[in-house]
Amino acid sequence: MRFSQRVGERPIKIELEKKGISADLKNTLWNNFLLLKDNEIYTNSYDFFSKLWTEFFKWRIDTLRTNAFGELRIDEALEKVSNWFFKTEWYNLLDFIEYLATGDEVFLVLCNNSLKDEMSAYRFVDAVLVEINSSEEIEEIETAMNNSVGYSSVKKHIERALELLADKRKPDYRNSIKESISAVESLARIISDDEKATLGTALKKVEEKHKIPKSLKSAISSLYGYTSDESGIRHSLLEKSINVNQEEARFMLITCSAFVNYLICKIDE
């Protein structure tokens, strides 16, 4: 905390910023871009900017101008990107950061720190930007993805649930919930060694093998509507009239991730 905030001359942020980006965060993310992408910008400048032009911005490639020697006019290219960066909507800017972070762990970590320091409601989880309420939520999802490396089907379901939840243009909360549930079901089937088992049956076998408290198993079953009849949550979710919102999808992803972590820990005991 800065001196000016400690003495009450500047306000202290106490809420995460949603659906927006402060000027400070915008400047910090731009600095991250210049600092971390410096080598690509000035060493492989044409390749770097041509990918931005064609893959991300979808701009005409002939607007990427070169000098008389066929060398890219880097300052002009940077100015064009900068003008877009500081004028575009907040969600487009985060699309840009997400695009740049793909395959660049150092840039991703730096931007995540910036998002955290500036009290943004968005964080990277496995190279995907998601809205969060606390750092514990992110840690639970990340741990589940790391723990489930040896269980490819489980990891795929969690990753897909995250992607559907985090899609800023067209989020699919309904199917995100189904993927979260499928992650638990998939792991339960693996543990029970019965790939055709319903989730209720699989959990019963897991309970017998690994001494899961009956109250916990019952709570999980009740929470997710784990039944094989038509009243089960998966069947209900197929009804378009049922409204599913972001909060519910996020809750399911976090809770299912936590249960996946719990089950994997039981296996390792």
Tens digit of each residue's pLDDT (9 = 90 or more) over 57-79: 999 999 999 888 888 899 999 99
Instruction: Return the pLDDT at 64.
Output: 93
Instruction: Return the pLDDT at 76.
Output: 93
Tens digit of each residue's pLDDT (9 = 90 or more) over 39-55: 787 787 888 999 999 99
Instruction: Return the pLDDT at 228.
Output: 38
Last residue of a domain, one of 73, 93, 120: 120
Please check whether residues 10 and 72 belong to one and the same domain: yes
Instruction: Return the pLDDT at 188.
Output: 83
Please check whether residues 143 and 220 belong to one and the same domain: yes
- CA-to-CA distance for 260 and 158, rounded, in angstroms? 10
Last residue of a domain, one of 85, 120, 155: 120
Please check whether residues 110 and 233 belong to one and the same domain: no
Has residue 70 been placed in a domain? Answer: yes
Instruction: Return the pLDDT at 5.
Output: 52
Please check whether residues 77 and 148 belong to one and the same domain: no
Please check whether residues 76 and 140 belong to one and the same domain: no
Has residue 127 been placed in a domain? Answer: no
Please check whether residues 141 and 262 belong to one and the same domain: yes
Please check whether residues 254 and 154 belong to one and the same domain: yes
Please check whether residues 115 and 21 belong to one and the same domain: yes
Instruction: Return the pLDDT at 230.
Output: 45
Last residue of a domain, one of 94, 120, 146: 120
pLDDT in tens, the chain (269 residues): 566 755 557 665 546 788 899 999 999 999 999 988 887 877 878 889 999 999 999 999 999 998 888 888 999 999 999 999 999 999 999 999 999 999 899 999 999 999 988 889 899 988 889 887 766 777 888 888 888 878 889 989 998 998 888 776 788 888 888 899 889 888 888 888 888 777 777 777 777 777 777 777 676 666 556 333 444 445 455 555 567 788 888 888 888 898 888 888 877 76
Please check whether residues 97 and 150 belong to one and the same domain: no
pTM summary value: 0.63
**Domain around 176:** 135-268
Instruction: Return the pLDDT at 240.
Output: 56
